Amino acid sequence: MNLFDLSGKTALITGSSMGIGFALARGLAQAGAKIVLNARNTERLNDAQRTLSAEGWDVRTLGFDVTDADACAQAIDGFEREHGPIDILVNNAGMQFREPLENFPVDAFDQLMRTNLYSAFYVGQAAARHMLQRGQGKIINIASVQTAMARPGIAPYTASKGAIANLTKGMATDWAGRGLNCNAIAPGYFDTPLNAALVSDPTFCAWIEKRTPAGRWGQIDELVGACVFLSSAASSFVNGQTLFVDGGMTACL
């Protein structure tokens, strides 16, 4: 199982103070990686570090705003200079805003795109510039089941996640020949803080159970295996792909 061993690697996970990002950070740590947590909320970021450090993992924090291109570059350049290479990047930072498209506020659209899409470009570019110099690196963008499908009230979110899949293809096209593996993970419906309103809705939960072949919500730890695979040597010839982890939702009508 050495193919999946991440010992000696350093992984930066954006938006990792809670939810999916935190679970992926813990999973990568369990696979042997040193972890760099990122979030804008300093209190939650420090709480996450304390939790993982108490479990015995090597954890640092790197607080910066992923929607600010200059801040991304400065933070990553500074970390590489002071602490060494970032070998794995997981672009997880994201947000949701629900409103019928005809009423969707322009400022909310802009914020959503900056958080879900622009951040992957900003952080990905800043990290890749160092990875390319070394001729190796792993970039994993977090897409969504909405990369392939849409639901009422979240058209801009759907647009952002569709764009993530194509950005991932573009990253692979530009960088695969120079040693980088760039892929995406598309979670289905998972029980996360971002989905709290949906999880508490009995009607929606019944729809999820009926619509998903697995018959249930996903649990965030079920995303860890895909992330470890795409972070490791086991995925050395996998590039530009979006791996759906959705209980079969996108496989059926």
Is the Cβ–Cβ distance between 95 and 116 less than 8 Å? yes
Is the Cβ–Cβ distance between 150 and 144 less than 8 Å? no
CB half-sphere exposure, 84, CA atoms < 13 A: 8
Which among 118, 122, 157, 189 is annotated as catalytic? 157
- By CB atoms closer than 10 A (0-12, 13-18, 19+), residue 47 is middle
Residue 67 burial (CB count, 10 A): 21
CA angle (72, 33, 50) in 5-degree steps: 75
CB half-sphere exposure, 115, CA atoms < 13 A: 16
CA distance 44 to 41: 6
Number of residues in the chain? 253
Can 157 be counted among the known catalytic residues?
A: yes
Cα dihedral 121, 124, 127, 132, rounded to 10, equals: -100
* Residue 58, both tokens: 């090597």
Listed residue (30, 32, 28) closest to 12, CA to CA:
28
CA distance 62 to 46: 10
Catalytic residues: 157
